[in-house]
Amino acid sequence: MAEAENLIETLSLEPIEVNLFRGRAPQSQGPRIFGGLVIGQALLAAYQTVQGRLCHSLHCYFIRPGDPSVPILYDVDRARDGRSFTTRRVTAIQKGEQIFNLAASFHEDEPGAEHQDEMPPVPSPDELVEDPREREWTRPIEIRPVDGRFGSPVKGPAIQDIWMRATQPLGDDPVLNQCVIAYASDMSFLSTSMRPHGWGWQTPGLQSASLDHAIWFHRPSLFNQWHLYAQRSPSASGSRGMNLGFIYNQDGRLVATAAQEGLIRLRPRG
């Protein structure tokens, strides 16, 4: 079995100049950089310029496929430092071209009204039978699908419930835990909109790519513990699939909400 990726090393950044950082992708990731890695590194780059505030929302666009053989430069624009909110914009660059950009807002902790939707009633991760393929999964996120399917091309409702957690100890740093949640939020997401059509990642002729991604962080959480990623796809049209995701900790607290639109295009064979 391949050795699991060291996520803390993967997300780490090298300071190059004021507001400029260099990141790298594992060579084992394949021909394209995993989108969640760029989200996590860009968020971490923004955090290098923020003091005492946590990200409450981020919005990003995937512009070009990332090349894992080339370093990624992250250029941070300190857009605004306000009394309660801080805004940053991050541009990821390879070979002189933008491959990704992110806008993030950070908020000072303050008390206020609270409510949330209830977590869907699903089996706990301990009740689920381990998929033998999980033992070959080398990414640093452990995944247990509630319905036993992960990316398989079986036609069904546009619903996907997945338990996930980081396998490497992260400690209690809220920034690192949040960046890892951002990394994991791109895993399996787009495949939710493929389910009504019976498509999967290996479907012949399928072209797929994340187009944009947004996350709203509601409260800090420790991602070494199990979290339920409840995913729904309310619509697909024009070769684009829309996905919504709700991340709950095992106590049923809503930690984050995510949204993504992605390309799902089936090219005719022959």
Which residues are known to be catalytic?
A: 186, 210, 260
- The burial of 115, by beta-carbon neighbours within 10 Å (0-12 exposed, 13-18 middle, 19 or more buried), is given as exposed
The dihedral through the CA atoms of 40, 250, 134, 207 has a sign that is: negative
Q: Strand pairing partners for 212?
A: 61, 261
Distances (CA, A) of 22 to 41, 148, 155, 224: 9, 38, 41, 26
Q: CA nearest 121: which of 256, 252, 259, 255?
A: 252
Residue 228 φ then ψ, to 5°? -90, 125
Are the C-beta atoms of 226 and 126 separated by less than 8 Å? no
How far apart, in Å, are the Cα atoms of 198 and each of 21, 144, 191, 204, 218? Answer: 41, 20, 10, 12, 33
- Rounded Cα distance between 239 and 53, Å, is 38
83: left (phi over 0), alpha (psi -120 to 50) or beta: alpha
Q: Check if the beta carbon of residue 260 is closer than 8 Å to that of residue 186.
A: yes
What residue type is 96 in one-letter code? G
Length of the chain: 270
